[in-house]
Amino acid sequence: MDELAGYFCLSTHSVERLNFRAKFKRDMPNPISTILLGRLAVAEKYQGYGLGESMLHEAIRKSKKIADSLGAATLIVHPISERAKLFYLKHGFSSSKSEKPMLFLSTFGVFSLTEKDLS
């Protein structure tokens, strides 16, 4: 039987401007349209082999495509733990001013993937 090694979930979302720092939200409407990375997880026995990183790159690639047609400004995630937060910070996400922990890609258009990754 096939086994589930990992998954992630994306949905359209919006966030009040006050949750972002001035530099990012300049000239943005309120609320700011975003894409939410709802859950990204790797089954314990598959952790540590690069699957989480690959899925995050795929989530960013898909989000970029969605943003190109819907106009979303960034990809956000609410990390479920300090460990998860470190994972996202390591992969280019930034902290926000939100009360509920929230990280976002401030460089949504220029994240560290090559054009080849995005095609």
Ligand X SMILES: CC(C)(COP(=O)(O)OP(=O)(O)OC[C@H]1O[C@@H](n2cnc3c(N)ncnc32)[C@H](O)[C@@H]1OP(=O)(O)O)[C@@H](O)C(=O)NCCC(=O)NCCS
Build a one-symbol-per-residue string for 11-40: x at contacts with ligand X by CB under 6 A, - elsewhere: ----------------------------xx
**What whole-number distance in Å separates Cα of residue 39 and Cα of residue 55?**
11
Tokens of 81: 């733990």
Q: Is 88 considered catalytic here?
A: yes
Residue in 9, 28, 29, 50 binding ligand X, rule: CB under 6 A: 50
Q: Which of 17, 33, 41, 61 binds ligand X (CB under 6 A)?
A: 41
Tokens of 98: 């939100």
**Amino acid identity for residue 85 in this structure:** K
Q: Work out the number of other CB atoms within 10 angstroms of the CB of residue 54.
A: 12
Structure tokens at 3: 């086994």
Annotated catalytic sites, by residue? Answer: 88
Residues that bind ligand X (CB under 6 A): 39-42, 47-53, 77, 79-81, 83-84, 86-87, 90
